[in-house]
Copies of this chain bind each other. A is one copy, B any other.
Amino acid sequence: MTSLLVRRALPEDLEEIMALLAQDSMHYYEEPAAVSANQRAAFDEIDTDVNQDLLVGELDGQIVCTAQVTWMRMLAADGGLYCQVEAVRTDSAMRGHGIGALLMESIEGEARRRGAARIQLTSNKERTRAHTFYERLGYVASHVGMKKYL
């Protein structure tokens, strides 16, 4: 396999990222049929925030995965940094090639470079394969993830 290039998303990647998100079996929200003005504005907001990174992974010039990372400074851990990972998706046609692991390793590498105290994410209780995937990468299912939709 050609190595995965993980990079910050560009505005022209939005259609492909939204297509990856739309593949998801769990639809928490109704999304617009095409990339909307709100989503373009959201992209700009994320892109200009030093603590939010929208990432894509490219394989032979094709976007095959995405994730969003938020850097959260804490008082705990002597003023430590938490790395929160959201919206991790790999192209369903590209599963089983280790793409997701390479993406997560890239994020962990950046977290280590920044001296982060921990990486954290939540995964729907029904995604048991995802839990096994993250546990294999060293994540511990120590917490309950609680959501309230407004």
Footprint of B on A, CB under 8 Å?
14, 17-18, 21, 28-32, 36, 38-43, 45-46, 49, 51-52, 54, 68, 70, 72-80, 82, 84, 86-87, 108, 111-112, 116-125, 131, 134-135, 137-150
Q: Point out the residues of chain B lying under 8 angstroms from A145, CB to CB.
A: 120-122, 141-145
- CA gap between A131 and B147 in the complex, in Å: 11
Q: Is the CB of A86 within 8 A of B73?
A: no
Contact A36 B144 (CB under 8 A): no
A75 adjacent to B137 (CB under 8 Å): no
Complex: how many Å from CA A137 to CA B36? 33
Binding site of A, secondary structure by majority: helix, strand, loop or mixed? mixed
Question: A73's contact among B29, B49, B138, B148, by CB below 8 Å, is which?
Answer: B49
* Interface pair A38/B74, CB less than 8 Å apart: no
In the complex, which residues of chain B have a beta carbon less than 8 angstroms from the beta carbon of A117?
A: 29, 149-150
